[in-house]
Amino acid sequence: MTLCEVDGSAVLDHQVDDLLLHARGLVLVREVLARRGASPDELDAHTRELERVRGELVATLSRD
């Protein structure tokens, strides 16, 4: 499962935290690149990686 207990409270494990941080970073960087006039290929690369990370996050959260 992706939850663990800390002081009696359930929290997400580090893998989920890392994936969420990675996804958030990709979104922010993609926005900065777009504002700075990045090429469509650069933006597409970030979009593809974001989709991959989202899929990994879903798979991680779906595991028992």
Domain assignment present for residue 9? The answer is no
pLDDT of residue 13: 80
The pTM of this model reads 0.77
pLDDT in tens, the chain (64 residues): 455 555 554 556 888 889 999 999 999 999 999 999 999 999 999 999 999 999 999 998 887 5
Structural domain count of the chain: 1
Q: Is 22 exposed, middle or buried (0-12, 13-18, 19+ CB in 10 A)?
A: middle
pLDDT of residue 64: 52
Residue that is written with structure tokens 């941080």 in the block: 21
Domain assignment present for residue 32? The answer is yes
**Domain assignment of residue 55, given as a range:** 14-62
pLDDT of residue 62: 87
